[in-house]
Amino acid sequence: MESKINPMREIRVASVVLNMSVGSSESKLEGALKVLEKLSGQTPSLRRAKKSIKEFKIRKGEPIACMVTLRGKKAVELLDRLLESVNRKIKASSFTDMGNFSFGIKEYIDIPGMSYDPSIGILGMDVCVNLARPGMRVQHRRVKASSVGKDQRVTKQEAIEFMKEKFKVEII
C-alpha cells in the first residue's frame, strides 16, 4: 500500500511580480512599460513616488516605476524563462523565512526570447516570487479572513527544496 501525499501540503508558485524602477517619468519609463508588456503579455501598472527627493529631481506623486503580477500557469512559465537568465542560480540569502524569494536581472536582454531595442536601452528588473500551499487565501480574503496555522506556511528550507526539485535551481 503506497502512501498518498496530501494535496493541501503541495507547494506551488502563487505569484511572480516583475518590478522595474527607473526613477524618472520620461522615455525610460515608457521603455520599461514596453519591456514588461512584451515579457508578460499584460498591461503593467505605474508606481508613483511616495515623497519628493530634490537630489534625484523626483516629485511626490510622479510615476517612477512599473510592475506586473502574474499568477497560475503564466507565472510558472515566465519564472522558468527568468531563471534561465540567471543561469538557474539563486543565493540562499534571497529566501525569506516565509518561503518567498527574490532575485534581480541586470539586463532584460539576458532573458531568452527578448531582443535588444535601441529605443529602450538597457534596463534591469527585480523578480519577486511568492510560494504558497493551497488554503493560504483564507488569510487574505475580504470576507471571513482567518489565520492560517504554522504548519501550512512554507518555510525557507521547504522553498529551497521546492526550487531545487521543480525548477532545477542551484542554491549558492
Note whether residue 1 is domain-resident.
no
Confidence at 5, pLDDT banded by 50, 70, 90: confident
pLDDT of 105 over the 70 cut: yes
Into how many domains does the chain fold? Answer: 1
**Which phi and psi angles does 132 have, rounded to 5°?**
-155, 165
Domain span at residue 82 reads 7-171
Note whether residue 144 is domain-resident.
yes
Pairing of strands 170-171, 89-90: parallel
Note whether residue 2 is domain-resident.
no
Q: Is-above-0.85 flag for pTM?
A: yes
pLDDT of 1 over the 80 cut: no
**Residues 63 and 47: beta-carbon distance below 8 Å:** yes
Note whether residue 33 is domain-resident.
yes
The per-residue pLDDT for range 14-62, each reduced to its tens digit, is 999 999 998 876 788 999 999 999 999 999 999 999 999 899 888 999 9
Reading phi first (left if > 0) and then psi (alpha if -120 to 50, else beta), residue 15 is in beta
Note whether residue 23 is domain-resident.
yes
Note whether residue 121 is domain-resident.
yes
Note whether residue 44 is domain-resident.
yes
Q: Output the domain CATH number for residue 37.
A: 3.30.1440.10
